Chain A
Amino acid sequence: MSKKEMVTLTIDGKEVTVKKGTTILEAAREIDIDIPTLCFLKEINEVGNCRMCLVEIEGVKGFKASCVYPAEDGLVVRTNTKELIDTKRTILELLLSSHEKKCLTCVRSTNCRLQDLCRRFEIPDLEYEGEMPEADLDDSSNCIVRNTAKCILCRRCVNICKKVQGVSAINNLNRGFHSKVGVALNMGMRQSTCVGCGQCIIHCPVGALTEKSNVGSLREALADPSKHVVIQTAPAVRATIGEEFGMPIGSLVQGKMVAALRRLGFDKVFDTDLGADITIMEEATEFISRLNEGRDLPMITSCSSGWITFAEKFYPECLNHLSTTKSPMEILGTLIKTYYARKQGIDPKDIYSVALMPCSAKKAEIIRDELKLEDGIQAVDNVITTREMARMLKEANIDLAALDEEEYDAPLSVATGAGHIFGTTGGVMEAALRSVSYILDKTEIENVEFKNLRGTKGIKQAEINIAGKKHKIAISQGLANASKLLDQIKAGTSEYSFIEIMTCPGGCVNGGGQPIVDEYKASKIDVIGLRAKALYSADKKSKYRRSYQNPAVKDLYNDFLDSPNSKKAHKLLHTHYNKQEVYVEGK
């Protein structure tokens, strides 16, 4: 970097040199000055509307919003004068005047940016007691609950939904006192373009957006002796749930998590990662037959629930490109109510099947008609997010961090490293490529680590060799990126054979059901990278790293499923997709 492109300024008496174009807020963060913010979200919501980041700049009239004011050479900035602090206290008081303030019963209590700032600025008695705007409580979605009584109109949700996901389900509506974040035509989230990904939840600084809680019915089931209650755990949860118990970001807690779930009363604890291994067997086989028949290419992965809804709502003409293989959760859920039930001699109707997921969209996936088993029963009865489960464990006095490690229960316990990495962007593709050649012609590839498929670039591309032929593949994260690949397919210009699409940026490690990391903290550490690293380390430690080597997979095909893509496998492990209409009243 040449000197010309750098600027030096002084913030609170301290000099800092930053790249030209850096904002004052970010310059301050480089020297660990945490200027308070509520609305700021790097590159997504840099709008300067909450006014909490105001600073004083020598020679500049009035206070300026540091999140949008570029650093210039020689600026002298102060962030903590009495006038600034008093001003911010007033801003907070005004925000509170139209805020619901039910902190004691709020799910975000102790992890709320507004609450945190109120403590920091020692808000005295609430001075402004006035009219409250009409509250809009929208629980029409199966995934997300919206409560405008807690909303501070920061627009983070609006812009993450629009810019990162390209979904634009919500927007600022009305004006003045009646301003709110809402859905077009004043409908519910269910009728909107929402895909349930929950990126709005994990970026909400307060408790205005939360997952639809399914904890109550799980408590009932666990207390009911006539129910056989089993749980499966998604790949990404083992890399994150420790955070809720004070462990550092990136802690791998598979064994502790299994122990905790057993303490909570689950009859069996199974591993979704085995479902992921089966997904690979089915999907890789499906890919090979599509290659041979030259149909419906590129094939696109179908594990990510939000992505399926996105395809059904935005790209119905591309549905034939989606792999028909069910998601790992649904595959394991199906095996629980068929294979496992039969093996144990339990009526599938007496099994209450729970899935611990990093995801809010999965809550809608389990009720899809297309996924119902014989007699119309659901393969999975309840989806609980990482956050919900952490709360359940805490209320049951279970400190996950303090427990000794335990193993998953047979017969759905053994998973490979390929299954573990499903929880991160590029992981499904890498897992598939470890098995494709073997499934095709029994070729064992030597190097199982596809480092060029890793990392958090929006769209990754690579060229791979299958049976002596080169194929282009692509991996995308965040649905706005997926749109670029889908537009190519629609235009007939796609040059890829195989595409992995994950809904959330970074994949499931950053899913909408994951622990919420404060924006300032997240600006200092690579949250997604550390969580992904935990999964790659689990992979590295695994006895088996290729799905076809998994003895549990072999047993399942030998005893029950015949072979990948067999008639039976098709009946149980594959599904189909349908166009979804949006903004239809009463739907």
Chain B
Amino acid sequence: MKHCEGCEGCKIDKKLEDIKDKYKDVKGGIIGALHEVQDTYGYISTTAQKYLSKELNVPMSEIYGIITFYSRFSLTPKGKYNIQVCMGTACYVKGSEKVLNRFKEKLGIDEGQTTEDGKFSLEAVRCIGACGLAPAIVINKEVYGKMDVKKVDELIEEYTKK
């Protein structure tokens, strides 16, 4: 696992303390706290996990179990552009695997990873509800439908220039 030194998510800052205070006395508050950490920092750092474990009195193994169970949570910082390839049934039948593989090949990363320049991260996700556009992907909040290998290349070029 990748650990980063000194980046925003690895420090116990005011924002993290606020999240802790908000959920400290909430029963089952750990899920809510993890959501906020994820939204605030784009991932849940080891430092944040240890801090919440101690302050909310939840074992580390439980926190780690939650984070690795839900694909919503991430252990590594996401890229500036987070690419989500839908692997739902409709998209899958229409060839989303080829789309995913093309992204892996062109970006040189696996799913769940981030490119070294921090620009792109890649995820395979469950149905995003855009079956009519299958195979579909989402980059940050933008949906792109009827994807194919050529469109993958075009999108990468477009976002690299941004």
Q: Complex: how many Å from CA A582 to CA B60?
A: 10
Given contacts A184-B49, A185-B1, A185-B49, A173 and B59 within 8 Å (CB-CB) = no
Q: Is the CB of B68 within 8 A of A173?
A: yes
Any chain B CB within 8 A of the CB of A186?
yes
Task: Annotate B1-44 by CB proximity to A: 1 below 8 A, 0 otherwise.
Answer: 10100000000000000000000000000000000000000000
A44-B142 Cα distance, complex, nearest whole Å = 47
For chain B residues 50-69, which have a beta carbon within 8 Å of chain A? Answer: 50, 59-65, 68-69
- Output the nearest chain B residue to A175 by Cβ-Cβ distance: B69
Inter-chain contact B65/A173, CB cutoff 8 Å:
yes
* Nearest-neighbor residue (CB-CB) of A180 within chain B: B68
Closest chain A CB from B27 CB (angstroms)? 17
Q: Which one of A163-171, A200-208, A221-229, A443-451 is at the B interface?
A: A163-171
A186 to B1, Cβ gap below 8 A?
yes
Tell yes or no: A172 within 8 A of B by CB. yes
Q: Quick check: is B46 within 8 A (CB to CB) of the other chain?
A: yes
Contact partners of A173 in chain B: CB under 8 A = 64-65, 68-69
Q: Once bound together, how far apart are the Cα atoms of A183 and B69, in whole Å? A: 14
With A184-B60, A583-B60 given, is the CB distance from A171 to B1 under 8 Å? no
Name the residue of chain A whose CB is nearest to the CB of B60.
A184
CB distance from B162 to the nearest CB of A (A): 33
Complexed CA–CA distance, A173 and B60 (Å): 12
A168 and B62 contacting across the interface, CB-CB below 8 Å:
yes
Say yes or no: is A554 at the interface (Cβ < 8 Å to chain B): no
What is the CB-to-nearest-CB distance from A471 to chain B, in angstroms, rounded to a whole number?
Answer: 32
Judging by beta carbons under 8 Å apart, are B64 and A193 in contact? no
Say yes or no: is A162 at the interface (Cβ < 8 Å to chain B).
yes
Asked if residues A185 and B46 are in contact (CB atoms below 8 Å), the reply is yes
Given contacts A185-B46, A186-B1, A583-B50, contact A172 B59 (CB under 8 A): no
* A585: B residues at CB distance < 8 A: 3
Which chain B positions have C-beta within 8 A of A175? 68-69
Contact A174 B61 (CB under 8 A): no
Q: How far is the CB of B142 from chain A (nearest CB, A)?
A: 27
A185 is contacted by which of B59, B60, B62 (Cβ under 8 Å)? B60
Q: Which B residues are CB-close (under 8 A) to A162?
A: 59
Give the CA-CA distance A583 to B61 in the complex, in Å.
Answer: 10
Contact with A along B93-117 (1 / 0, CB 8 A): 0000000000000000000000000
Residues of B within 8 A of A168 (CB): 59-62
Q: Are A174 and B68 in contact (CB under 8 A)?
A: yes
Residues of A within 8 A of B61 (CB): 168-171, 183-184, 192-193
A170 to B64 Cα, complex, angstroms? 10
Centre residue among A168, A171, A193 by max chain B CB count within 10 A: A171
Chain A contacts for B68, CB-based, 8 A? 173-175
Across the interface, do B69 and A193 meet the contact criterion of CB distance under 8 Å?
no
| Distance in angstroms between the alpha carbons of A585 and B5 in the assembled complex | 14
Looking at B46, B61, B69, which has the most chain A CB atoms within 10 Å of its CB?
B61
Contact with B along A574-587 (1 / 0, CB 8 A): 00000000110100
Taking the closest CB of chain B, its distance from the CB of A144, in whole angstroms, is 15
Is A184 a contact partner of B69 (Cβ separation < 8 A)?
A: no
> What separation, in Å, do the CA atoms of A485 and B50 have in the docked complex?
25
B10 to chain A, nearest CB (A): 13
Q: Which residue on chain B has the smallest CB distance to residue A174?
A: B68
- A174 to B65, alpha carbons, bound, how many Å? 7
How distant is A418 from chain B, measured CB to nearest CB, in Å? 38
* A193-B65 in contact given A184-B49, A186-B1, A583-B50 (Cβ < 8 Å): no
Whole-angstrom CA separation of A184 from B63 in the bound complex: 8
Smallest Cβ-Cβ distance to A583: which chain B residue? B60
- A186: which B residues are within 8 A, CB to CB? 1, 64
B63-94: which residues lie under 8 A (CB-CB) from chain A? Answer: 63-65, 68-69
Best-surrounded residue of B3, B65, B69 (most CB of chain A within 10 A): B65
Q: Determine the chain A residues whose CB is within 8 A of the CB of B65 once the complex forms.
A: 171-173, 184
Which residue in B3, B46, B49, B62 is a CB contact (below 8 Å) of A171? B62
Q: How far is the CB of A162 from chain B (nearest CB, A)?
A: 7
- Of chain B, the residue at the smallest CB distance from A585 is B3
Chain A residue nearest in CB terms to B62: A171
- In this complex, what residue of B is CB-closest to A166? B59
Task: Check A193/B1 contact, CB under 8 A, given A172-B65, A174-B68, A185-B49.
Answer: no
Q: Residues of A contacting B50 with CB < 8 Å?
A: 583
In the assembled complex, the Cα of A192 lies from the Cα of B53 at a distance in Å of: 13
- Residues of chain A within 8 A (CB-CB) of B59 are 162, 168, 171, 184, 193
Q: How far is the CA of A173 from the CA of B68 in the complex (A)?
A: 6
Complexed CA–CA distance, A585 and B46 (Å) = 11
Q: Taking A172-B65, A583-B46 as given, write out 6 further A-B residue pairs in contact, using a Cβ cutoff of 8 Å, ordered by the A residue number.
A: A168-B61, A171-B62, A173-B65, A173-B68, A184-B64, A193-B60
A-B contact pairs, 16 of them (CB 8 A): A171-B62, A171-B64, A171-B65, A172-B65, A173-B65, A173-B69, A175-B68, A183-B61, A184-B59, A184-B61, A185-B1, A185-B46, A185-B49, A193-B59, A193-B61, A582-B60
- B: which residues have CB within 8 A of A? 1, 3, 46, 49-50, 59-65, 68-69
Query: A interface vs B, CB < 8 Å?
Result: 162, 168-175, 183-186, 192-193, 582-583, 585
The 5 closest A-B pairs by CB, nearest first: A168-B59, A171-B61, A184-B60, A184-B64, A171-B65
